[in-house]
Amino acid sequence: MKIPDLEKSIKKSKNNQVDILTEFFSENLKNKLTESLSALILFGSHARGDFTKNSDYDFLIILKEKNKELEDIILDVCVETLNKFDKLVTCLIWEEKDWELKKRFPIGKNILK
């Protein structure tokens, strides 16, 4: 299954530069989720480059299989990021099979823009 990943989606970021928060968040998730993480996609205003200083960061996290333990790890990384940068991180957490269905709906199409 071909799923877009963070390296591709962050190219849409303002000035084609990955900001420190995005790098911190993605590296923490990759290190903590290892084999469970299929894709991490930045979307919304930070991906489009039309964010303001008060904009949150929107991520789609695609897991091979979702469970409570993995969701707790993701929540911990979100809180750690909030505490470090004083910026809100909003995450959609989907399984691979969810992505295959949801990418056809408006939310999926918006993420792929």
Every domain of the chain and the residues it spans: 6-112
The rounded distance, in Å, linking the Cα atoms of 52 and 61 is: 23
Residue 111 pLDDT > 60, yes or no? yes
Three-state secondary structure call for residue 109 = helix
CATH fold of 6-112 reads Beta Polymerase; domain 2 (3.30.460)
Does pTM surpass 0.85? no
pLDDT in tens, 1-18: 344 554 544 444 444 445
Q: 6 near 41, Cβ under 8 Å?
A: yes
- Give the mean pLDDT of the chain: 84
What tens digit of pLDDT does each residue of 50-101 get?
Answer: 888 899 999 999 999 999 999 999 999 999 999 999 999 999 999 999 888 8
